[in-house]
Chains A and B, each alone.
Chain A
Amino acid sequence: GQNIDQPTEMTATEGAIVQINCTYQTSGFNGLFWYQQHAGEAPTFLSYNVLDGLEEKGRFSSFLSRSKGYSYLLLKELQMKDSASYLCAVSDSNYQLIWGAGTKLIIKP
C-alpha cells in the first residue's frame, strides 16, 4: 500500500529552527509537496521537490532524498504565525496525490 508518515505534533520556540520530517512509500514518484494549513483554513502551497537536494525559499527550505523515501521541511527564524499544520503529499505514478496526516507545529514565545 501507499503510505506517508510524519510526526503528529511538534513544539518549537519563536526565533528557533525546526525540521519536520516526512517518509513515504508510494507506487511511483512524481514529486513531493509541502503545504501549510492554518486551523480552519484551506492548505496553501509551500514547496515542491522532484530531484534530490535542498530547495530554499526564504525562511523555508525543503529537502528530498528519493533513494531513502525521505523529505524534510526546515523552518528558520520561527514566528508565531508559523503555528499551523504542515502537510506532506506525494504525487504517485498516476499523478494522484497521497497525503500525510499532517504535523501540527506549535510555536511558543
Chain B
Amino acid sequence: GAVVSQHPSWVICKSGTSVKIECRSLDFQATTMFWYRQFPKQSLMLMATSNEGSKATYEQGVEKDKFLINHASLTLSTLTVTSAHPEDSSFYICSASPVTGDVSPLHFGNGTRLTVT
C-alpha cells in the first residue's frame, strides 16, 4: 500500500515554456504532499509543502511565482515550473504520507527528470 504516482517521468522543454508535474496518492488520502528537487550528486532539497485546500508553504529561496503548486484534492498535487530556464533542469520528486502530524515514512513518487534546453 501507500503508492505515490508521479507523471511524467521525464520531460524536455524549451526555455521560457511551462511544465506541469502531477503527483497522485493512489491508495490513500494525503492532506499534505512534499515537493523536492535534487541536483546531480546532491541530496534532496525540500522546495515546498503542499496543503490540500490551502496555499503551499515554500522553503526559503524558492520562488512561489515560479513554482506554482496546486493541491486541489486529497489525492492530487501539481507543480508547475513556469518560464523554465536551463538552471531549472533537475530531478523533481514528490512525496506523501498516509498520516499527518506524526512520524510516518514518506512514500515517494518515481520522480520527474526535467531538462530545459
Contacts and interface: CB of A to CB of B under 8 A. Distances in A.
Q: Could you say which interface size class chain A belongs to?
A: 10 to 19
Contact of A87 (B43, B101, B102): B43
Contacts of A100: 43
B18 interface: no
B113 interface: yes
B110 A50 contact: no
B105 A33 contact: yes
A42 B43 contact: no
Contact of A30 (B42, B44, B103, B107): B103
A31 interface: yes
Q: Report whether over half of chain B's contact residues are helix, strand or loop; otherwise say mixed.
A: loop
A41 B91 CA distance: 9
Interface in A16-33: 30-31, 33
Contacts of B108: 42-44
10 contacts: A33-B105, A41-B110, A42-B93, A42-B108, A45-B105, A45-B107, A91-B103, A99-B43, A99-B46, A102-B43
Interface of A: 30-31, 33, 40-45, 48, 50, 87, 91, 95, 97, 99-102
Given A42-B95, A91-B103, A99-B44, 13 more contacts: A31-B103, A33-B105, A41-B111, A42-B6, A42-B108, A42-B110, A43-B93, A45-B106, A87-B44, A95-B102, A95-B103, A100-B43, A102-B43
9 tightest Cβ-Cβ pairs between the two chains A and B:
A42-B108, A45-B105, A101-B43, A31-B103, A42-B111, A102-B43, A30-B103, A91-B103, A99-B44
